[in-house]
Amino acid sequence: MPHIRPHHQKTVPKLKVSDQSSLRAIVRIINDPLLGPAALRSTVSIFRNFFLLQYWAALFPGRCKVSRADHPLDEKIPFRPEKVRTYLDFIHFFIRVLGFLIDMGRQQGAAGRKAMEKINGLIKSIGELYGYAAEVYKKNFSTTNRPRYLSKLKFLLIHTFDPHLMCIPSLHVMVVILAYTKFRAILTELGIPPGPAGDAAEEVRMGALAITEAVLYVKQHSVNCIPAAMYAMTRFGSLFTAEEAESFAQELFKKTLCMDAETKTEIRNHITGLYRKFLDQGNNTASWDEPLLEFLAALPRK
């Protein structure tokens, strides 16, 4: 006899962060009296610490130190221009996370205020993150060799508007690590159990891994830039622990078919080893950025 589901039972839809509209999330953030001001301050920080700082260095070459951050392992990673969409998605990725959290927060009833305060803290933290990374850039910029690939409009825009002077530490990687670790922590703090919403934490972590891989596939970063970003995030807060960082590194390129197993292991071992080196050095320095500046000083100059 066929099983008949009672009318009162409903299938709970799986909630996905990727279903969020980043435009809708932006509109909601701007119009919120708590989130709007925080978003404005963070936008100003991003503009000042990324765009203005980098364009100033590009317009006045020779006034700033610029190191070449390339590593021989970069040549073993295939150039995959189709990954440019994933590479450019990192800000939309962050905004979709915010949109999902706003939706979840509004379902919390009396606890909704607490949720909005957590979201406000996440918005503030991205502005702080750009200022944090700029502590390195202001003392030593860095670049990598990238192919002059102009067959896709997105690459044309990248080569036209990106001076490519902020490689160590990679802000792409820092932003996605911030997104997934804070997202997971906020869900836990709000008491949202595993299930349709809890699954979203793993979705965001996998998205962070995909974007980290993409920065290497499109040759916007070197394998040296990834551990630098991971180290910066360990020092930035308490969520991206050494254990979390090593787990993150070991997940990279796990599902890719375009590299052999030996190459993937080499890349993961290099990232993990350099991360550990930065962490060990950072435990004995007065300032968090000293290991990265020392590393940059030893690299060839542009």
Q: What is the pLDDT of residue 194?
A: 60
pLDDT at 179 over 80: yes
The reported pLDDT for the residue numbered 148 is 87
Q: Pick from 58, 62, 90, 29: which is nearest to 220 by CA?
A: 90
What is the average pLDDT across 12-18? Answer: 72
CA 52 to mean position of chain CA atoms: 20
Q: Where are the alpha helices (DSSP H) in 143-260?
A: 153-161, 171-189, 199-217, 225-236, 242-251
What is the percent of the chain where pLDDT is above 70?
A: 92
State which H helix or E strand residue 80 sits in.
Answer: none
Q: pLDDT over 90 for what percent of the chain?
A: 80
Position 226 pLDDT exceeds 60: yes
Is the pLDDT confidence value at 63 over 90? no
Mean pLDDT score, 215-234: 98
Beta carbons within 8 Å of 234's beta carbon, 6+ residues apart: 240, 241, 242, 245, 279
Q: What is the pLDDT of residue 199?
A: 87
Cα 248–Cα 35–Cα 114 angle in degrees, nearest 5: 75
Classify burial at 97, counting beta carbons within 10 Å of its beta carbon; exposed 0-12, middle 13-18, buried 19 or more.
buried
Stretch 168-175: mean pLDDT, rounded? 98
Tell me, what's the pLDDT at 105? 82
In this prediction the pTM is 0.93
Nearby residues of 149 by Cβ (< 8 Å), 6 or more positions away: 79, 81, 155
User: What integer is the mean pLDDT of 168-192?
Assistant: 94
Q: What confidence score (pLDDT) does residue 8 get?
A: 44
Token pair listed for 73: 């392992």
Which pLDDT tens digit goes with each residue over 262-286? 999 999 999 999 999 999 999 999 9
Kindly report, residue by residue over 88-112, the tens digit of the pLDDT.
Answer: 999 999 999 999 999 988 776 656 7
CB atoms within 10 A of CB 118: 17
Give the C-alpha separation, 221 to 86, whole Å.
14
Q: What is the pLDDT of residues 119-165, one digit of tens each?
A: 999 999 999 999 999 999 999 999 999 998 988 899 999 988 899 99
pLDDT band at 9 (very low <50, low <70, confident <90, very high): very low
pLDDT at 14: 61
Q: What is the pLDDT of residues 17-58, one digit of tens each?
A: 999 999 999 999 999 999 999 999 999 999 999 999 999 999
Mean pLDDT score across all residues of the chain = 92
